[in-house]
Every structure is written in structure tokens, then in C-alpha cells.
Amino acid sequence: MPHSVSSASPSEDGSGDSLPGLLADMSLGDSPRTEAAAREPSRPNPSETRRSPALDAGPIEQNSAVFNPFAAYISTGSETHNTEYSIDELTRDVIPQQVARLQNPQRFILTETDDLYIQGQEFQKKWGIPKNGFLNWIALLSGWVEFPVILLLNPSPWDYLPFDEMLRKSPTLSWLQEILRNMGLQLDDVIILDTFPMLQDSLRDDILERMGPAGRDELARESFALTRATLELIQPRVMISCQCCTKPNNKRWEFFNGDNLAQQLCSSVLRARDRRVRELDVNGHRMQVVQGMHPQYVVKRDTTQEKVLVELFTQVFRSFGAWQSRRLAMQKELRDAGATLLTLVALLQQQIQRYGQLCRQAGSGMDGPVTAEHVEELRTQLGGWECRRSDGAA
């Protein structure tokens, strides 16, 4: 996987705010504005969920004739909060449909010609972000489209390092890696988003010092525009929100309080403990947001809540881990059967050559069970098969 933004102290959290700031800003409940939303439980209506035309048509493509990197994705105000229900309803009604769609799975991988790639690259260059920060963002976005996605807050303090080094130093990503591994999955299987891509705490604070609140606000808006564009492109059906900071009363992010989608993507420890799922309507696409909490919260501040978060991840991803295990087992069987087939073909070719030599030595006075013409015909057919196989592999 690729590589990531400015350096920070090793004492900071592995994926987002410095630990003291992150933990201080977390609350068990919701902001007054969020708590005012209706809590009337209802079962999801999977048939009303709309899929991206790009996903229905095949490989994900994003190119357009005219490209505006940020304006189209800076808060449209079209997101609404519809209903809430339990994670048990999610795993009963929604998850099985997502697993069924894995009969024709799709990988999400950004390439240099994709609009979102270009938008991210322009953001990186505009704000002087190290190239590894951009590459790590691309790497974490890679995954299966049908899987639930994971939402964190902002990048690791070690995001300026190549991906593998950054991963080793990041407590948050290491925690996620271990939890997914226990279910037979890897980080590369799951699309992981930051609410504020490529926006480290150190960059935010530096821009505030050099350019004032207006510069910092512009930086945050353009960073979140990348997340908005990503959600509109991928249209994930299920998300686990592991950030509780994009709400009006958060000390370090309260300046970003005018975006409805950012607020609706915010979770809380209380909602996670209650095993709640929030349904959002984002420009006509319905997305189920499982209420979680940041891994650093359960590791560093309240270890009693780690069991809650582990159970949420297990309930959401367990079926996808089973699918991946079956897929890998089938891949192994195919490889083994293919290897046996190729061995038999090679053995048959050797026997054809040997049989031809014996026929020539025996001369016309001795007949074998197979005529020389039939042996030559078989040899020609195998030669043509080998050529076609080589062309296909190329």
C-alpha cells in the first residue's frame, strides 16, 4: 500500500488529535442540537437505498468534462437525518443484502486520472502537505465497495511517513488492524476515511497561526470536501463512525459547526453504548451510520468501553470476514487445482514426446495403441492451448 503529512510528537494519538486534546474533547452524550433530533426507532427500508450509477455500471469512474476541485462539495445542506434504530436490526436487515452483493464484488482504488485523485492532489499541493500524506490517504481509501466503511477524525501524527512505517507507529490503525485480523480481514479490505483527510492537528494549528481563523476554516472546509466527494462517489451502505468531534460544542473543532453532514457523521460514547444506528440521507443516498467511538478513547481513557467497541465491529464485520475466508479458501482450491492441471499437461506432453520416439524406433512392423497421426494431432492441440494460455496470462 502507498505512503503521508507533517511530523508530530510521538506522544500524540495514532490517528487524529493529540491524545490529551482528543480525550478532553470527547463527551458521553450528544450536543444539544444532535440530541434534539427525533429518536423514533424504525426498521430500515433497504429497497429505498439508491446505488451510484457508476457502481451499477461496473468499474468506478469519476471523470467529467469540467472539473472544479472543491466548490461542488463544500456543504450543500442537502443531508437530512431520518431515523435511528438498533444494530441488531442492521445486521438482520441490511448486512445480509450487502454480503449478497459480494457475488460480484468491486474494489475501490483511485487512479491518477480520477477526479477525486486530482482533487486530493490539488488540496495536498495547495496546503503544502507532504506527498506521503496524500499517498496514505489513497491507500486507506482502497477496499471492497460492498463492505462497511470506517470513519475516523483526521490523520495519524506520523502521516508524513511511508504507509507501512506510519501503520506501525499508529495506535489507532494498529488497533483496527488487530480487530479486523481476528475476523479474517485486513486493513486493505476495508475503506477507511478521515473526516478531515490530510489535515493533521499540527497543520491546522500552523495555518491558524499564520493565516488566522479564515485560513484555518478554508483548510477544514476543503479537507471535508474530499470526504463529501468520497461518500458521494462510493455511496457506502454502512459506516462505523469512530469520531465524536464534529459537533458544535467540541473545543478543538467547534469552528467547523456550519456543516450539517459533518455533525450528522459525529457519534458519541452514549450512542455507542446504546448500540444505535443513525440513517442519513445524503443527496438521495441512504447510509446507515453505526455509532461508535474512537479506538484511542477505549485504549487510553476508558478501557471498560473497549468491549463495547469490539462487539460493534464484530457484529458489523463478522459476515464480511466469513465471506473473505470463503473467498480465500476458494482461491486456494483454484490455485491447487490449476497447479495439478498444469502438472498433468506437462506430463502428457512428455509422454507424447516419448511415445513418438518409441514409434519411430519400432518402425512399421510394430503398432502401438495410438496411431502416430493421432499423437501428432494431440501434440498440436496442446501446443495451441499453451499459446492461448500464455496470451491470456499476458
d(CA 218, CA 224): 10
Q: Is the pLDDT of residue 217 over 60?
A: yes
| DSSP E strand stretches across the chain | 80-86, 107-108, 143-144, 149-152, 192-194, 238-241, 276-282, 285-291
Residue written as grid cell 508530530: 8
Give 206 or 18, the one with higher predicted confidence: 206
> Cα–Cα distances in Å, from 271 out to 114, 311, 379, 393?
36, 14, 69, 51
Q: Is the pLDDT of residue 12 over 90?
A: no
Q: Is the pLDDT of residue 312 over 70?
A: yes
Strands 192-194 and 149-152: parallel
User: What pLDDT band is residue 179 in, cutting at 50, 70 and 90?
Assistant: very high
Residue 384, pLDDT score: 84
Provide the grid cell at 390: 500464455
d(CA 374, CA 194): 65
Q: What is the pLDDT of residues 380-389, one digit of tens each?
A: 888 888 888 7
> With contact defined as beta carbons under 8 Å apart, do 280 and 289 qualify?
yes
Looking at this protein, which amino acid is placed at residue 187? L
> Cα–Cα distances in Å, from 36 out to 32, 39, 226, 256?
6, 9, 28, 19
Residue written as grid cell 443516498: 285
- What predicted TM-score, i.e. pTM, was given to this entire model? 0.74
Which of 314, 218, 311 is CA-nearest to residue 273?
311
> With contact defined as beta carbons under 8 Å apart, do 22 and 294 qualify?
yes
Q: What is the pLDDT of residues 69-100, one digit of tens each?
A: 444 445 444 444 558 889 999 999 999 999 99
